[in-house]
Amino acid sequence: MEVEDEIESILYIAREVSVYRIPPLKANEGHRANDWGDLAQPLWKGRLRIIEKSKGAALQFEDGQTGELFARAEYDPSRPSVDAVLDSSRYFVVRVEDAGRKAYIGMGFAERADSFDFNVALQDYTKRSKAKLNPETEEEEASIQLSTGPKKDYSLKEGPNLGTYLADASAKGKAAGTKYLVQIVVYDLPDRDCAALASNGEFSIANNGLANYKNYIDQIVAQVKAYPDVRVVAVIEPDSLANLVTNLNVAKCANAQSAYQAGVIYAMQQLNTVGVYMYLDAGHAGWLGWPANLSPAAQLFSSLYQQAGSPSFVRGLATDVANYNSLTTSSPDPITSGDANYDELLYITALAPLLTNGFPAHFIVDQGRSGVQNIRNQWGDWCNVLGAGFGMRPTTNTGSSLIDSIVWVKPGGECDGTTNTSSPRYDAHCGLSDATPNAPEAGSWFQAYFETLVKNANPSL
């Protein structure tokens, strides 16, 4: 029996995009949205869908009400029809072809999150397409196993673990007659960093992820319990809860919502039993600091705290973890335009009074990479930002009754993500013009970036 209507899959939907008439590309230069004239006056506005069928995928620009087609661009990963502009992460150039005729249009998203999701959808499709075109046969797999030459071992090696560091802190504390403090980051939720690619974790919700995560927490608890003379302070799950505030339109985040909440509640409850002081991660000023996000964020933190039984060792919230925002500034970075909470202290001051259910309004702020400002093209650019420097030293002298301490959470030389576009973990943010080139995989040591952080440190090292 013949199937008249081929099944199609919708990979992505943007409720509103803008289309622009763009000038011809100059020789040896990339496209810039700034060259398109008044971006507030587009040629057309409507809906964008990425649709996949058996023969491939296509971008369809449609009227949001009637569905009438405005333009269609086939997407072939071997000759991509979409290019990012040089001066923004929200604008792209799309090649449209019809009956042998070719034209280029500009496309813009109102929100950075929408452009990010668009990039992720194209990346996922590209990876699947390449896998279909180049499947490994049994012979190829065998040849890989039997290849000559020394085999490189990329597995994790036995080395120091949390217990190693706690034992060291315990010994030093006893020798000095004082209690040592160890700062840790709890960062292993299933389907971790649901709106990103570079920092995907080891656990999958579909593969017993929540149970594995609880076991991970139980192991931390067991090691902390063995060293009661060491004070442990934990940052709980960077980026997780913030994604539940702003990125539930991403399918992976929507699917992870209940697991994230259950995991964070379990972590609070169990770590509380061994006296671990906890700060839940609260994103940063450029993420949850926007007026529309403040109340939903406060409600989420407060609700989870209450559901966990109001654990006494939950101390508050951590902000700007692994980010680049200043604690305070008298000269707002241009990328913060439109947000009254343009630095971390303003964000904290706005968020604190909205917390309910007895959630403690205390904060720690990561300033490990915040020494240089005005270096990002967009506030959401996060990957190995070019020109960054180590920032304010860790201190409890914060100048604010709301802030317990300035901290360095993200290790300075730890890479955010690779620039290798063929890597399964490649994230488009790591290929932006304000990201440092020649970057290794996320989590690897990035010596050149570390040297830049040292060179640009403010205050200087």
Catalytic machinery residues:
239, 416
- What does the alpha-carbon distance between residue 283 and residue 246 come to, in Å, rounded to a whole number? 11
Torsion angle of the four alpha carbons 336, 341, 342, 343, in this order, in degrees rounded to the nearest 10: -150
With CA atoms as reference, report the closest residue to 21 among 96, 90, 80.
Answer: 96
Paired sense of beta strands 181-186 and 101-109, if any: unpaired
- What does the alpha-carbon distance between residue 437 and residue 309 come to, in Å, rounded to a whole number? 46
Give the ranges where 247-353 is alpha helix by DSSP (H): 251-272, 291-307, 344-351
Q: Are 294 and 354 in contact (CB under 8 A)?
A: yes
β-bridge partners, 232: 182
Paired sense of beta strands 44-53 and 403-407, if any: unpaired
- What does the alpha-carbon distance between residue 96 and residue 66 come to, in Å, rounded to a whole number? 21
- Where is 242: in which H helix or E strand? helix 240-246
Residues ≥6 apart with Cβ < 8 Å to 213 = 188, 189, 190, 203, 259, 263, 266
Q: What number of residues does the chain have? A: 461
Beta strands in 166-262 (DSSP E): 181-186, 231-236
Paired sense of beta strands 91-98 and 82-84, if any: antiparallel
Neighbours of 92 (CB within 10 A): 24
CA distances from residue 43 to 22, 39, 117, 387 in whole angstroms, order as listed = 10, 10, 23, 36
Q: Are 346 and 291 in contact (CB under 8 A)?
A: no
